[in-house]
Every structure is written in C-alpha cells, then in structure tokens.
Amino acid sequence: MHCRFITYAVGCQEMSMIYKPPGSDSPDSDQPPEPTDASGKISVLIEIKTEIGGTGTDAMQVVREMTVPGLQLDEEYEPVAMSEADPRTGSSIQTYIVRGLVERQEDVARIQAMPDVVKVWKDTPIAPTNLHM
C-alpha cells in the first residue's frame, strides 16, 4: 500500500494524519465520505466575490439571490474571508466562503456558472480513518 504521512499545524498544536490515495489495497473505502445531510442533500462551500469593502453578509446575500432551485444557504455558518481587495495591485475583489446545501450534483455546476462565484467545493467531512498498518 502506498500512503503518505502528512503533518500540519493547527494553531500551536501539530497534527498528523495518513493520506490513503484512492485505489489503495486497504479494506476501507477508497472514497472520502460524502458530504450529505440526513435528507441526502449535498453540503457545499461556495466562494463568492464581493466589491471592495464587501462583507460576509454581502456574500450571503449574493447566495440568497441566486436562482438555483434546491440551493439552501446555511445561515448558521459564518462567512470566511478568503482574499481581500488590494488597492496596490488594483484588485477590487474580495472573496468569502459560505456554506450551503444542494439537492443534486448538477446544482453544483449551476452555482459554479454564476458570475459572482469563484469556486464551489464539496464540504467533505473530516474524520479519522480506520487505517491498519
């Protein structure tokens, strides 16, 4: 089996994990857990563009106004600033990550096609593995 041992820092604490690539010979599942809720909706993270001075609230409003059937904004998830506008480089765009739920995988492509969307990711759960070495 080909595995990589990954070490990273979280705050002041060092964490380690083993990455098991798809197709490894472990009896565990080769696929990451699906980011679905109890009703089967897919959890997604959406990176939204805002203008200079835009806020996380502005990013959430952009998602509320999207005309994608089945898209539900997670109002309890606080938007996370990803990149800030930089007047020195002429960038007037700031981006935020918000979380939502969609009914089908096809909805992800519809969201990605929206003009204020930078990227859409599955909100894959992070969990320990059952790797036996």
Question: pLDDT under 50 in the chain at which residues?
Answer: 1-20, 24-27
Does 42-122 carry CATH code 1.10.3470? no
Output the six-digit token pair for 118: 């930078």
Which pLDDT score, from 0 to 100, does residue 34 have? Answer: 65
Collapsed DSSP state (helix, strand, coil) of residue 7: strand
Which pLDDT score, from 0 to 100, does residue 3 have? Answer: 47
Report long-range pairs for 23-27 (Cβ below 8 Å, ≥24 apart).
25/1, 26/1, 26/131, 26/132
H helices of the chain, in order, are 56-64, 105-112
Percent of the chain at pLDDT exceeding 70: 63
Which pLDDT score, from 0 to 100, does residue 60 have? Answer: 93
Positions of E strands within 1-92: 4-10, 13-19, 42-51, 72-73, 80-83
As a whole number of angstroms, the distance between CA 96 and CA 104 comes to 23
Collapsed DSSP state (helix, strand, coil) of residue 106: helix
Which pLDDT score, from 0 to 100, does residue 70 have? Answer: 86
